[in-house]
Structure 1
Amino acid sequence: MINYVKRKDLDVLKYDVCIEKAIQSRIYACSWYLDIVADHWDVLVLNDYEAVLPIPFNRSFFVKYVTQPYFCQQLGVFSKDVISEELQKEMLNKIPFKFLKISLSLNVDNLLVSEKTRRKNYTLKLSKEFSAIHKGFSKGRKHAIKVGEKAGLKLTSVTIDELIEIQSKNYTYQIPKRTLKNLVNVFIQNKKGTVLGVFKDEELLGGGFFINDKDKVIYLYAAFTKEGRKLQAASFLISSMIKKHENSNVILDFEGGNLPNIGKFYRSFGAEEEVYSTFNKAFL
């Protein structure tokens, strides 16, 4: 039986155990993570938490709609055992009609991928020595990293406020700053994340926020100045993280790549494409 459970009525322990042990396990679906990034969220639960489907939603006037939160690339169905495509579809179709619009990104381990709704992500296994991984970089990416090295770029820890300030001054799109700060605070306190800045002498050129999720290091957020882009600070940052985790079972998750230029950038590090889908429905 599939039941709709409100967040306030959720058995958090059983829910989080399901996410932790799920074949499709993702940190994005943990209760504490969703409490930070989602305005509201409820859950569809199969039997006694054998499978769950978190439903993040917003309200606009009197209209409720399901939407993917920021910093939460993949959700979908999570299950302790393999479940059929039919059951996954059944759970998705159980999302109540009170949500007049649904746009929900599933995860790469869900089976419901179609050409109309497919999205791309990129990951890179770091099980080899850096020299071997470096051979997989494109010629252009190797050159870009050399630009940063010749400029004498350095890495050091910075605050997320410093990167948010760079974001505000150098990008046209905005992000939920409070949400990002709350996420960073939790990950830093639990020693599961790091905010790194790229410097040219005393000038901060930008940086990124990386989080740990089991065998993954996720490149969750980044911002760079115009000078940082000129000096290839992003390439230098990513290359440095690859060096740090060489010869390990870590997978670098670029947490994006659906936009062609971004995808091309991640592929230039030798990253592999993975595909997930979005579930869209409208009752308006």
Structure 2
Amino acid sequence: MIHYLKRNQLDIQKYDACVQSAINSRIYAYSWYLDSVADNWDALILNDYEAVMPLPWRQKYFIKYIYPPAWTQQLGVFSAIKTSEDLVLKFIKAIPRKFKKVTIQFNSENKFQHKNLTERVNYILSLNKPYEEIYKGFNKNRKRVLKKTLKLNSIVDEEISSEEFLDFYLNTQKNYQLGQDQITIIKNLLNSNNERVCIWGIRESKKLIAGLVWLKEINRITYLLPIATIKAKEKGLPTLLISTLIGQYQNKDLVLDFEGSMIEGVAEFYKSFGRTKEKYIVVKMSFFY
């Protein structure tokens, strides 16, 4: 039986254990992560935490709605056994109607048909081979950029403080402006003091010019938040950060998750590392009646 529980009603130990043991586990679904990124969240639970479906929600003008918080690409149903289409649809049907609008980005293992779905693309890279084998999959331009970058002898610092990264991130020239909600989420994540949140960077004259926040879980590395100055991009330092990450976790039963992208230029960058494409489903529904 699927039942709805509010955040304060959940057995968090059982909930997180279900997410961790799930064959489709995603770091976004852990309680500590949702506590950092969501305004509020509750969950649907199958029996005694045999499967779970987190429901991040917020309220506007007395209307409660389920939404995908920033930096949570894939949620949906999580279980230690493969989720059937029938089970996923039962979870969707069990969403309380007090949520008048629903937008859920399901994980790529949740396969089902629904009248209100669209598909999005993600790119992943298997790390279960030696670096040399993975490198062969880089395209010509990525290999050229990496060779150029290695000549600079830049050093990747694997212990960047959250304060230094945040200051760099907020003050680096970008082609978009972050809203206050997004800034708050970044601060929450960086200050969560969770060992799964890793911050790397590259300095020039003792100042950061490139940085990366990535997430480490049992079977997945998530390329969450990259940032670089224009000068650092010209030097190819984002490529160096990814290459270093691949080198450190080569020959491991891990997947490097690039988190997208639907943006053509960003997608081309990820493709250049010899990625695999995966699709995930987004469902949008309204219950105004």
Question: Normalised by the size of structure 2, how large is the TM-score?
Answer: 0.89
Paired with 1:65 and 1:267, the residues of 2 have a C-alpha distance of 34
Equivalent position of 2:13 in the other structure: 13
- Ranges in structure 2 where 5+ consecutive residues have no aligned partner: none
- 1:166–1:225 contact (8 Å) kept in structure 2: no
Match of 1:185 in 2: 191
Q: Residue 68 of structure 1 corresponds to which residue in structure 2?
A: 68
* Equivalences for residues 1-284 of structure 1 within 5 A: 1-112=1-112, 117-156=118-157, 157-168=159-170, 169-171=172-174, 172-174=176-178, 176-186=182-192, 189-284=193-288
1:20: Cα distance to partner?
2.0
**Distance between the aligned counterparts of 1:243 and 1:137, measured in 2?**
13
- Quote the offset at 1:190 in angstroms: 4.7
Secondary structure of 1:58's aligned partner = strand
Aligned residues: 282
RMSD: 2.1
The one-letter amino acid paired with 1:62 is F
Q: Distance in 1 between matches of 2:164 and 2:19?
A: 33
Shift of 1:193: 3.3
Q: After superposition, what is the alpha-carbon deviation per residue over 1:210-262, rounded to whole angstroms, capped at 9, x for unaligned? A: 22100222211111111111111111111111122223223222122232222
The change in CA–CA distance for 1:25 and 1:264 in structure 2 (over 3 A counts) is: same
Asked if structure 2 preserves the Cα contact closer than 8 Å seen for 1:43 and 1:55, the reply is yes
1:276 Cα deviation from its structure 2 partner: 0.8
CA distance in 2 between counterparts of 1:191 and 1:60 reads: 34
Q: What is the SS of the residue equivalent to 1:196?
A: strand
SS of 1:92's equivalent in the other structure is helix
Contact 1:154-1:200 at 8 Å conserved across structures: no
Q: Distance in 2 between matches of 1:162 and 1:80?
A: 38
Q: Secondary structure at the match of 1:151?
A: coil
Instruction: Say if 2:103 and 2:284, in contact at 8 Å, map to a contact too.
Output: yes
What is the SS of the residue equivalent to 2:270? helix
Return the offset for 1:25.
Answer: 1.7
Once the two structures are TM-superposed, the CA of residue 133 in structure 1 deviates from its matched residue by 1.3
Q: Distance between the aligned counterparts of 1:192 and 1:87, measured in 2?
A: 30
Q: 1:214 to 1:41 in 2, by over 3 A?
A: same
Which secondary structure state, in structure 2, belongs to the residue aligned with residue 265 of structure 1?
Answer: helix
Partner of 2:191: helix, strand, or coil?
A: helix
3-state SS, counterpart of residue 117 of structure 1:
strand
Q: Distance in 1 between matches of 2:155 and 2:113?
A: 41
| 8 Å Cα contact 1:153-1:201 kept in structure 2 | no
d(CA) in 1 for partners of 2:195, 2:21? 22
Asked if the contact 1:164–1:223 (Cα under 8 Å) also holds between the matched residues in 2, the reply is no
CA–CA distance in 2 between the matches of 1:84 and 1:240? 37
Query: Alignment identity in percent?
Result: 37
